[in-house]
Chain A
Amino acid sequence: MSYLSNIYNGIKTLLTGMSVTGKYFLNARKGAITQQYPDNRATLKMFDRFRGEVIMPHDENNEHACTGCQKCELACPNGTIEIIWDRGIDEVTGKKKKKIDKFVYHLSMCTMCGLCIDACPTDAIKWGQNFENSVYDRTALTRVLNKPGSKVRAGIED
């Protein structure tokens, strides 16, 4: 008797399980969560806070908010950010003044921890939503974030 009831119970639990999968099978379109990436590139919108890469926004006058204070460089755990100084002559005062020359960002080393953005006192850098960062040569992942010829926005003090 227990032999037969074992068989009966076995089949019953299998059918119960199959009723779950069967339900999804028949409603396959409703519950689908698969994203058709990359076909949905045009409509794909990442969340605002999504950490894709560090970017430095520039305004229409090609000005950014980075004073070159190096706080982000210090906060970064793995040397992803390098601030290169320019010790040129300030046009206004005629004195020697430290200015930011290059903000070098090695995306290949970045762990997306967000500590640099957290540390920046002037909000000069923020997260970009681009995540398609595959390249054939990793030197292409070393970027200079301040655009050529850009300046610090007036009124931002270091």
Chain B
Amino acid sequence: METTVVNNNFKSEEYFINMGPQHPATHGVLRLLLTIDGEIIKKVDPDLGYIHRSIEKMCERDSYQQIVHLTDRMDYLSANINNEAVCLAVENALQLEVTDRIKVIRTIIGELTRIASHCLWWGVMGMDVGALTTYFYGFRDREMINDIFEETCGARLTMNYNVPGGLMFDIHPNFVKRVKDFVAHFKTKIPEYDRLLSNNVIFQKRTMGVGVLSKEDAISFGVSGPVGRASGYSCDVRKHHPYSALDQVTFKEALRTEGDTYARYQVRIQEMWESLSIIEQLIDNIPEGDFRVQTNAVIKLPKGEYYQKVETARGELGVYIISTGTKNPYRLKFRSPGFSNLSVLNHIAVGSKIADLVAIMATLDLVIPDIDR
């Protein structure tokens, strides 16, 4: 008879596991190949493409008016800002000057979008580190903004409200009142956010010193948005290259120097305050004027290359158009913030635990359709 030899020498060896593509913490269909040693992460390999819809290729087929609605489907939480980016690019190429009313409305809508996106992020961030209540509070406040959008734009997520030359229709008569109600309401809620989550000791222990990104690395990885600003990299497009009505308002750029998960959290909380202040500065005097400047039914951009960047809730979105003078772009490239921010994940997650990875991913605030396009 054979005897079984039991091997008692447990040896430590690296192995890999899949996180995603259907994992709640990846917030979409992102697959991460984790090489781990016990609980310690050795390597993170993002595997992309699960929600690739070839939006850039579709843009080559579509007219400039039609391109706008595709951008709703990239970073769907910043839909209005994405729309604005394409419209600004087309307007600049046509050298079309839009009215002040359009600019102000676009800015207000854009900042509301940013708050809505941050509300959702805040709720999900809490949920990712184990605090489910935040999810409901975040969504409750986002709901008010969604109602504003639904009343004025007709849709809650994929608004397609901007068109080259202005806005598809004027703001709803209730818009100003609703926005003011929201601002008053939300001012009482952010301190609550702080009391509930920001100052919570468990949350701070989970996030402080986790996933530290230095300023040099932030710049060399091309990181933008709140992720970059948490590392002390002043990269707010609204500040450095103001568009629409952003040059008429004063606001502070949210900057931190720690570069850890908690700093990224604080940057977003501060951005909500700043967005509220931008909205307050503009909402009382929306100038009279046309909400739409007539363009030709068939828009043809002059031959050349055009670039426009805007600050979405996630960072710098660039729209690069090459036109050969026809009614479709020859090539249209989106520089999406999520893609560059994801590239830094391996760099900051190595050496931390799997649970930390979830916290890090939550503050990178990835929207997967934005990465894949």
Residues of A within 8 A of B (CB): 9-10, 13-14, 16-17, 19-21, 31, 33, 47-51, 75, 77, 111-115, 118-119, 127
Q: Which residue of B lies closest to A31 (CB)?
A: B140
Segment of B109-117, B189-197, B227-235, B299-307 in the binding face: B189-197
Q: Which residue of A lies closest to B172 (CB)?
A: A49
Interface presence of B201 (CB below 8 A): yes
Chain B residues near A20: list those with CB within 8 A.
Answer: 192, 195-196
| Majority-rule SS of B interface residues | helix
Inter-subunit contact B201/A13 (CB<8 Å): yes
**18 contacting pairs across A/B (C-beta < 8 A):** A10-B201, A17-B199, A47-B151, A47-B172, A48-B151, A49-B150, A49-B151, A49-B154, A50-B150, A77-B62, A77-B70, A111-B69, A112-B154, A112-B158, A113-B158, A114-B154, A115-B65, A115-B66
Chain B residues near A21: list those with CB within 8 A.
Answer: 133, 196
Residues of B within 8 A of A (CB): 62, 65-66, 69-70, 133, 140, 143, 150-155, 158, 160, 163, 168-169, 172, 192, 195-197, 199-202, 297
Inter-subunit contact A111/B152 (CB<8 Å): no
Inter-subunit contact B140/A33 (CB<8 Å): yes
Inter-subunit contact A9/B201 (CB<8 Å): yes
Q: Which residue of A lies closest to B144 (CB)?
A: A33
A13–B62 alpha-carbon span in the complex (Å)? 54
Inter-subunit contact B195/A16 (CB<8 Å): yes
A17–B158 alpha-carbon span in the complex (Å)? 34
Inter-subunit contact A47/B150 (CB<8 Å): yes
**Minimum C-beta distance from A96 to chain B (A):** 28
| Besides the known contacts A47-B151, A115-B69, 10 further A-B residue pairs in the complex with CB atoms under 8 A apart | A14-B200, A16-B199, A20-B192, A21-B133, A21-B196, A33-B143, A48-B151, A111-B69, A114-B160, A119-B297
Chain B residues near A31: list those with CB within 8 A.
Answer: 140
Contacts A49-B152, A51-B154 hold; do A113 and B160 have CB atoms under 8 A apart?
yes
A48–B155 alpha-carbon span in the complex (Å)? 11
Contacts A20-B195, A77-B62 hold; do A50 and B168 have CB atoms under 8 A apart?
no
Inter-subunit contact B199/A13 (CB<8 Å): yes
Q: Which residue of A lies closest to B140 (CB)?
A: A33
Chain B residues near A17: list those with CB within 8 A.
Answer: 195-197, 199-200
A74–B297 alpha-carbon span in the complex (Å)? 11
Inter-subunit contact B154/A50 (CB<8 Å): yes
**Minimum C-beta distance from A23 to chain B (A):** 9
Chain A residues near B62: list those with CB within 8 A.
Answer: 77
**Minimum C-beta distance from A17 to chain B (A):** 5
A119–B168 alpha-carbon span in the complex (Å)? 11
Inter-subunit contact A113/B199 (CB<8 Å): no
